[in-house]
């Protein structure tokens, strides 16, 4: 009988704090403790703003040796708090950063905003939760694999691509295009920790709708990220200002909704935050894009970026900061048209877009003009594997027969030291010869890699080097760089009726080994 009543008493005592925990903020020494009143208790170091403890229903989620922080830690910061109307705000300040953790009574979510007047000197602008591996052992899974689990692995490229049990792994393989990355998280028994990035969460970041960045890495800790700025194949200058709102939600395991209501933040006086009442809307129409391709409309200026999916020839993008924006009509991931629009607070502006993308009448084509290598050899694997992975199909060199070979046998990337050249065989009729143009579109390049062609016995001139992006690209799991188009004018008398051979070579003034040799990624090849 005693054991029964003893067990009941222990259960009751354990249960009471979860029900009656007091919402609010308390400070003791260097510890500032924020209690949601619903089971999440967050401890923040008042000397530097690091989160040193995340208790959820009594379970410690925070790693004890590395903490949750902005960038790689702010070093030192002033930390203050306020509580009013069932909302607690913790403000962390340095000379260039103002970082907010906001907790609503009864909600186990840290609402976050980051104001940056300059890129931090202490590292990339990112929020990183370094969590207990035992509490949340399950990292982001793609195709059944924890693609970013690198604990115990051997580095094979830099300090960020690894080999584990015969498979390549990297934190880069957890990345998702911004346009599709609203919720991502890690889980354990009875718990999930998720980042939520709503529609305006990327407005001060850089790279556009198809940019990808790190979401997760499993080491001795379980690392959960929201990257705001980085140089991971960065194609435009960093922006500054208010980043977010974004959030870290703690659940009993299931993923939270991507529809994060942050309207309560409109009246909190956060530095750099622009409320809904001071924003505007853009509506518009578009035409001329390739049937079957997704359409995205992007907006950007030096301070802000937005995007929205188009449907049926029209679109509406709301919650935009006032200003004048360049507007881009994307067919897939390739810019197909452009315009300009000015947004005013509380008003609706409009813009009409049409594609100006060249659409020649082709003799043959390989791939789709969409700014991606989709459908090509290994394109289905490259975002979650290093090109050296044994699960990749052989890169070649490939010989492709126009008109009969499948696009899936054409390489999505060409490396100077691996699969050079790519050869296209083609049997021409007498009406198909004469002066022609071979157009090669690429989506990214590394180490100055670009194509040069040899058609039968004629060799083209060498095109100039493409714009440089200061980053590895395709070996980090992305094809998204700077789209380029190379038109090669094949003179009359070069092509013959019957068999023709076209060799595409990677050329560069730079060098490198294996998959870090000069390279480029194919979008499409057209002869017209």
Question: Helix (H, G, I), strand (E, B), or coil: what is residue 301?
Answer: coil
The answer to whether residues 35 and 21 touch, using CB atoms and an 8 Å cutoff, is yes
* 245: preceding bond cis by omega (within 30 degrees): yes
Mean pLDDT, rounded, for 174-196: 97
246-274 per-position pLDDT tens digit: 999 999 999 999 999 999 999 999 999 99
Q: What is the pLDDT of residue 3?
A: 40
CA dihedral 73, 74, 76, 77 (to 10 degrees): -120
CA proximity to 366, closest of 502, 473, 494: 502
Lowest mean pLDDT among 18-27, 141-150, 375-384: 18-27
Contacts of 517 (CB under 8 A, 6+ apart): 415, 416, 417, 418, 447, 449, 506, 511
**Radius of gyration, alpha carbons of the chain:** 26
Residue in this structure with the two tokens 């050079």, named with its chain if needed: 420
pTM confidence score: 0.93
The answer to whether residues 416 and 452 touch, using CB atoms and an 8 Å cutoff, is no
385-431 per-position pLDDT tens digit: 999 999 999 999 999 999 999 999 999 999 999 999 999 999 999 99
Q: What is the pLDDT of residue 124?
A: 86
Q: What is the pLDDT of residue 122?
A: 66
Mean pLDDT, rounded, for 165-188: 97
Domain 364-527 CATH (choose: 3.40.50.300, 3.40.50.720, 3.30.43.10, 2.60.120.260):
2.60.120.260
Lowest mean pLDDT among 4-18, 43-57, 331-345: 4-18
Phi first, then psi, for residue 335 (nearest 5°) are -70, 120
CATH 2.60.40.10 is held by the domain 25-263 = no
Q: Which CATH superfamily does the domain covering 276-354 fall into?
A: Carboxypeptidase-like, regulatory domain (2.60.40.1120)
| DSSP conformation letters of 99-157 | EEEEEETT--EEEEEEEESS--TTS-SEEEEEEETTTS-B---BTTB-TTB-TT-EEEE
Residue 185, beta-bridge partner list: 194
Mean pLDDT, rounded, for 507-521: 97
Q: What is the pLDDT of residue 15?
A: 40
Q: Which two tokens stand for residue 474?
A: 């395709």
Pairing, β 422-428 against β 399-401: parallel
Distance CA 443, CA 305 (A): 21
What number of other Cβ atoms are within 10 A of residue 126's Cβ? 20
Q: What is the pLDDT of residue 470?
A: 86
| DSSP conformation letters of 190-244 | TEEEEEE--TTTTTTSSS-TT-EE--EEESSEEEEEEESS--SS--S----EEEE
Answer with the residue of higher pLDDT: 2 or 244: 244
Q: What is the pLDDT of residue 187?
A: 98
Mean pLDDT, rounded, for 327-347: 98
* Percentage of residues of the chain with pLDDT beyond 70: 96
The answer to whether residues 268 and 262 touch, using CB atoms and an 8 Å cutoff, is no
Per-residue H/E/C for 377-400: ECCCCCCCCCCCCCCCCCCCCCEE
Mean pLDDT, rounded, for 183-205: 97
What number of other Cβ atoms are within 10 A of residue 359's Cβ? 13
Domain ranges of the chain: 25-263, 276-354, 364-527
Question: Helix (H, G, I), strand (E, B), or coil: what is residue 282?
Answer: strand
What number of other Cβ atoms are within 10 A of residue 224's Cβ? 26
Distance CA 126, CA 124 (A): 6
36-46 per-position pLDDT tens digit: 999 999 999 99
CA end-to-end distance (rounded Å), the chain: 90
| DSSP conformation letters of 18-82 | HHHPPPEEEEETTEEEEE-SSSEEEEEETTT--EEEEEETTEE-B-SSS-BEEBTB-SS-EEEEE
Q: What is the pLDDT of residue 17?
A: 42
The answer to whether residues 378 and 413 touch, using CB atoms and an 8 Å cutoff, is yes
86-134 per-position pLDDT tens digit: 999 999 999 999 999 999 999 999 999 999 999 877 668 999 999 999 9
Element holding 502 (H helix, E strand) = strand 498-507
Distance CA 366, CA 451 (A): 15
Q: What is the pLDDT of residue 16?
A: 38
| DSSP conformation letters of 404-468 | TS-GGGSBSEEETTTS--EEEEEEE-GGG-SSEEEEEEEEEEETT-EEEEEETTEEPPPPPPPPP
Distance CA 414, CA 387 (A): 11
Distance CA 418, CA 358 (A): 32
Q: What is the pLDDT of residue 120?
A: 79
Q: Do domains 276-354 and 364-527 have the same CATH topology?
A: no
Q: What is the mean pLDDT of the chain?
A: 95
Q: What is the pLDDT of residue 123?
A: 67
Per-residue H/E/C for 325-357: EEEEEEECCEEEEEEEEEECCCCEEEEEEECCC
Residue 4 pLDDT exceeds 70: no
């Amino acid at each position: 009988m005693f054991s029964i009543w003893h067990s009941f008493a222990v259960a009751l005592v354990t249960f009471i704090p979860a029900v009656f925990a007091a919402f609010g903020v308390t400070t003791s020494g260097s510890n500032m403790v924020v209690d949601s009143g619903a089971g999440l208790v967050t401890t923040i170091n008042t000397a530097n703003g690091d989160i040193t403890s995340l208790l959820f229903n009594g379970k410690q989620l925070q790693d004890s040796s590395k903490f949750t922080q902005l960038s790689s830690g702010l070093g030192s910061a002033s930390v203050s708090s306020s509580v009013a109307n069932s909302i607690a705000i913790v403000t962390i300040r340095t000379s260039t950063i103002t970082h907010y953790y906001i907790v609503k009574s009864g909600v186990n979510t840290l609402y976050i905003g980051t104001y940056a007047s300059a890129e931090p000197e202490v590292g990339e602008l990112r929020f990183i939760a370094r969590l207990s591996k035992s509490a949340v052992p399950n990292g982001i899974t793609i195709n059944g694999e924890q693609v970013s689990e690198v604990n115990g692995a051997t580095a094979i490229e830099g300090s960020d691509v690894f080999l584990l049990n015969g498979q390549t792994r990297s934190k880069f393989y957890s990345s998702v295009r911004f346009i599709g990355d609203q919720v991502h998280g890690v889980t354990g028994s009875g718990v999930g920790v998720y980042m939520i990035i709503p529609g305006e969460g990327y407005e001060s970041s850089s790279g556009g709708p198809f940019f990808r960045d790190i979401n997760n890495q499993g080491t001795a800790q379980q690392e959960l990220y929201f990257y705001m700025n980085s140089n991971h194949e960065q194609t435009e200058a960093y922006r500054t200002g208010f980043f977010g709102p974004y959030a870290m939600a703690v659940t009993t395991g299931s993923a939270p909704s991507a529809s994060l209501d942050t309207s309560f933040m409109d009246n909190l006086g956060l530095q750099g935050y622009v409320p809904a009442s001071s924003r505007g809307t853009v509506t518009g129409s578009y035409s001329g894009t390739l049937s079957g391709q997704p359409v995205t409309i992007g907006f950007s200026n030096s301070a802000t970026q937005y995007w929205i999916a188009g449907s049926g020839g029209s679109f509406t993008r709301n919650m935009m900061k006032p200003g004048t924006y360049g507007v881009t009509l994307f067919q897939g991931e390739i810019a197909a048209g452009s315009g300009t629009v000015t947004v005013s607070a509380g008003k609706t502006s409009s813009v009409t877009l049409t594609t100006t993308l060249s659409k020649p009448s082709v003799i043959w084509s390989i791939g789709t003009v969409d700014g991606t290598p989709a459908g090509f050899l290994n394109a289905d694997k490259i975002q979650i594997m290093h090109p050296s992975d044994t699960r990749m199909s052989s890169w070649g060199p490939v010989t492709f027969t126009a008109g009969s070979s499948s696009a899936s046998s054409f390489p999505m990337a060409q490396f100077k030291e691996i699969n050079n050249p790519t050869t296209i065989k083609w049997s021409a009729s007498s009406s198909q010869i004469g002066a022609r143009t071979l157009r090669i579109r690429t989506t990214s390049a590394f180490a100055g890699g670009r194509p040069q062609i040899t058609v039968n016995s004629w060799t083209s001139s060498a095109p100039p080097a493409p714009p440089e992006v200061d980053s590895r690209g395709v070996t980090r799991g992305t094809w998204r760089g700077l789209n380029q188009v190379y038109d090669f004018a094949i003179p009359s008398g070069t092509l013959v009726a019957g068999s023709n051979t076209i060799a595409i070579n990677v050329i560069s003034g730079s060098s490198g080994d294996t998959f870090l040799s000069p390279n480029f990624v194919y979008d499409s090849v057209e002869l017209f």
